[in-house]
Amino acid sequence: MPLMPKRTKHRKVQKGNRGGFSKAGNTVAFGDYGLKCMSRGWLKATQIEACRVAINRHMKRKGKLWIRVFPDKPVTQKPIEVRMGKGKGNPEFWVAVVRPGRVLFEIGGVTEEIAVSALRLADAKLGLRTRLVRRGES
C-alpha cells in the first residue's frame, strides 16, 4: 500500500509555491548518514517507497532507516482525451514537496561503505539532485 495520509481536511489542493529553501529538516538528526536534496520538486510516494526498498535490501536488515519526508499533497489529473473545462480532475497520486536543503533519508547502525552505497542506490531512484551528508555537517 502506498504512502498517503489516513485522512485529509481537503480532497484536492492547489499547486502551491515551491520557492525558497528548506527551513526545517535540513540537518541529520536521527542517523549517522543522510541523503540531502539539492534541488526542488515533488517526490512521489512511489519514488519514496522505491528508495526505502532499495536501501533496506542493500543493508540486509542491519541498521536503521529513517524516512524524513511524507507525501501529504494530492495531485489531480484529468482523464485522457477529455476536453478542457468541466472542473478539476480526481486525485491520482500523492507527493511530498521538497525544497533544497531537505534531508530525505537517514541511515544509522551500519558502516560508512554500506551507508554510502545504500544512499547512492536511493539517489538513482529520485529525479532530484542530492548529496550525501554526515552527522554534524550542514
At residue 105, what is the residue type? F
Given this structure, which CATH class describes domain 33-79+87-134?
alpha beta
Q: Rounded to an integer, what distance in angstroms lies between the CA atom of residue 71 and that of residue 93?
A: 9
Q: Rounded to an integer, what distance in angstroms lies between the CA atom of residue 37 and that of residue 22?
A: 10
Please tell me the predicted confidence (pLDDT) of residue 138. Answer: 62
pTM of the model: 0.92
Nearest residue to 107 (alpha-carbon basis) of 73, 72, 58, 71: 58
One pLDDT digit (tens) per residue for the chain, 138 residues: 679 999 999 999 999 988 999 999 999 999 999 999 999 999 999 999 999 999 999 999 899 999 999 999 999 999 999 999 999 999 999 999 999 999 999 999 999 999 999 999 999 999 999 999 999 876
Residue spans per domain, the chain: 33-79+87-134
